Chains A and B, each alone.
Chain A
Amino acid sequence: MSRIFETPLYPYARSSDQDAETPVRHPVIVVGAGPVGLAAAIDLAQHNVPVVIIDDNDKVSFGSRAICFAKRPLEILDRLGCGEPMVEKGVTWNTGKVFFDERQVYAFDLLPEQGHKRPAFINLQQYHFEKYMVDRVLELQAAGKQIEIRGGSRVTSIKPRPDHVRLTVETPDGPYELEADWLIACDGAASPIRAMMGLDFVGRVFEDNFLIADVIMDADFPTERWFWFDPPFNRGQSALLHKQPDGVWRIDFQIGWDIDRAEELKPENIDRRLRAMLGEDIKYELEWSSIYTFQCRRMEKFHEGRVIFAGDAAHQVSPFGARGANSGLQDTDNLIWKLKLILDGKAPESLLETYDAERIHGADENIMNSSRSTDFITPKSEISRVFRDAVLDLSERYEFARPLVNSGRLSVPCTYDGSPLNGPDCQTMPRRTRPGSPAVDAPLDQGAWLLYRLDGQFHILAIDAEVPDSLCEHGICATSICLSAAGNDALRERYLGDASSAVYLIRPDQHVAARWETFDEPAMREAIDRASGRI
């Protein structure tokens, strides 16, 4: 076997830090080389911040795990320089079918809006996803950036200090000590860092188990998402079929709470379920199987002094709606530019409070949506099941009931309404690009895309408006991007609305900070100060 997830990618290698007389201090250490930790490190390296990633493993994700990546995270990955191979490899789908009992109740087409570089989402195994990110790390290293993955290294103790963190790292050569100005814990739902610091992680446990079977088969199913409520092959439960690249199909069986895990995972029992679902004479190879249960919960605060939590370490959701890895990538997108400004002395440390405010808002939104999906898929009372089944029965016949069917609300980007970083809004402009929203993509001349111009720095986006080439405020320079809406309906609809011109201040994470109809220098300076936490 030489599957990608069984091959060491970053095996343990001795670091010179292990021979140092006193612990070596790094500006930032990231714990965990999953999608979120890698995204944090790549972002830092692109900002010329030296970074060390510590991971107790030396391979990509074992098994497919996260498989659905939404548009906003793909846009973030474009900024991180690894979106293209992911989208090329990934499976793009738009059609979903919902089955209830023995029949199809309806099919939907997501009809994605035109004029965006990236699709609504792709299916891609987490192991491929992580591999492309590790490739990007190597590319950055080759370009001279200080980014390093230390595999086979496990953090065993952590001592938070007022202005740094001391940690002990266990390796095959024995332990050594390290120091970091800042530590970002991306070490997953069971976060050992969180446990070592004794921080709480409370929320709701869902009493259910799901069996995942990834099977390789030449099947003539179309590239669609199929979801079953109460099917004959899994009575009283649900099931999901999704296509991944390389002829791999993800099948999820809901199997209830009181189960014998070891028994359920026996190949003959998985085989029995698969044949009941796909037919007796199906030919397949089982690539990976697993049983999972889940909780919806989050930490009370996402940072504690110099230790910052991101991804599943900070918040956990049910898998329905693909909000785990997708929200983790939005965490680091939000965090890294703030940390960069703080490290450069261009913003006060209190800017980090807005990472908590904005991403807790995101986490709560995700927890709410994924809890609602779970309650629909697994009704918690008799009457809840009666209404669920009524919705499904009605959906077969009447269109009105279809929006009520909830087999997972796919992750859409979070808008930071009410954020302390938001400046003035302009009411004549479209709601979707109000302050706090992620900038919406739009096609530009010669096959270019708007989001590619928003490259991780502050920018002034001017549409049919006069602005200076750039404006610097307290060391933060926002360079201008000047466009015209003439002949560009997407740009007009998304950024102008009823206004005849527009000036936007866009943050490094591509979120809108403020907007006006015309350029007003004092107002722009104040908005930059506000967006960087100075006022």
Chain B
Amino acid sequence: MNNQAELVLTPNIARADDFYANLIAAHEGLTKAESDALNARLVLILANHVGNETVLAQALSAARLAKGE
């Protein structure tokens, strides 16, 4: 495992507006339950892509919007 890995929290998506539009579009016409399911699948797919335990722990912590981070 690469211990140097660090969660990227600076802009990293080249065409940010396109990605955001695609994300919202993916949820179009879905019920709340279907949207929740899609989000959960997306989180799992992205987490597996990252793989690195340290980065995943940093991402969980960042997502909690904990104070001082």
Instruction: Give the interface of A toward B (CB within 8 A).
Output: 383, 386-387, 389-391, 393-394, 398, 400-401, 404
Pair B40/A390 contact, Cβ less than 8 Å: yes
Pair A387/B48 contact, Cβ less than 8 Å: no
> Which B residues lie within 8 Å of A398 (CB)?
45
Chain A to chain B contacts (Cβ below 8 Å), 12 pairs: A386-B37, A387-B43, A390-B41, A390-B43, A391-B44, A393-B37, A393-B41, A394-B41, A394-B44, A398-B45, A400-B45, A400-B48
> Which B residues lie within 8 Å of A401 (CB)?
44, 48
Q: Give the distance to chain B from A381, nearest Cβ to Cβ, in Å.
A: 12
> Which B residues lie within 8 Å of A383 (CB)?
36
Q: Give the distance to chain A from B52, nearest Cβ to Cβ, in Å.
A: 14
Pair B37/A389 contact, Cβ less than 8 Å: yes
Bound complex: CA A400 to CA B48 (Å): 7
Q: Give the distance to chain B from A393, nearest Cβ to Cβ, in Å.
A: 7
Residues 32-61 of B, flagged 1 when their CB comes within 8 A of A and 0 if not, give 000011001101110010000000000000
> Which A residues lie within 8 Å of B48 (CB)?
400-401
Instruction: Give the interface of B toward A (CB within 8 A).
Output: 36-37, 40-41, 43-45, 48
Q: Give the distance to chain B from A385, nearest Cβ to Cβ, in Å.
A: 10
Supply 15 further A-B pairs (C-beta < 8 A) apart from A383-B36, A387-B40, A390-B44. A386-B40, A387-B43, A387-B44, A389-B37, A390-B37, A390-B40, A390-B41, A390-B43, A393-B41, A394-B41, A394-B44, A398-B45, A400-B48, A401-B44, A401-B48
Q: Give the distance to chain B from A394, nearest Cβ to Cβ, in Å.
A: 6
Pair B45/A394 contact, Cβ less than 8 Å: yes
Q: Give the distance to chain A from B39, nearest Cβ to Cβ, in Å.
A: 8
Bound complex: CA A390 to CA B36 (Å): 9
The winner among B37, B43, B44, B45 for most chain A CB atoms within 10 A is B44
Q: Give the distance to chain A from B47, nearest Cβ to Cβ, in Å.
A: 9
Q: Give the distance to chain B from A268, nearest Cβ to Cβ, in Å.
A: 36
> Which B residues lie within 8 Å of A391 (CB)?
44
> Which A residues lie within 8 Å of B40 (CB)?
386-387, 389-390
Going nearest first, the 6 A-B pairs with the smallest beta carbon separation are A390-B40, A400-B48, A390-B41, A386-B40, A387-B40, A386-B36
> Which B residues lie within 8 Å of A404 (CB)?
44
> Which B residues lie within 8 Å of A393 (CB)?
37, 41
> Which A residues lie within 8 Å of B41 (CB)?
390, 393-394
> Which B residues lie within 8 Å of A394 (CB)?
41, 44-45
Bound complex: CA A391 to CA B43 (Å): 10
Q: Give the distance to chain A from B50, nearest Cβ to Cβ, in Å.
A: 12
Q: Give the distance to chain B from A481, nearest Cβ to Cβ, in Å.
A: 37
Chain A residue at minimum C-beta to C-beta distance from B33: A386
> Which B residues lie within 8 Å of A390 (CB)?
37, 40-41, 43-44
Chain B residue at minimum C-beta to C-beta distance from A382: B36
Bound complex: CA A394 to CA B44 (Å): 9
Q: Give the distance to chain A from B16, nearest Cβ to Cβ, in Å.
A: 26
Bound complex: CA A393 to CA B39 (Å): 13
Bound complex: CA A169 to CA B45 (Å): 61
Q: Give the distance to chain A from B26, nearest Cβ to Cβ, in Å.
A: 14
Chain B residue at minimum C-beta to C-beta distance from A389: B37
> Which A residues lie within 8 Å of B36 (CB)?
383, 386
Q: Give the distance to chain B from A78, nearest Cβ to Cβ, in Å.
A: 38
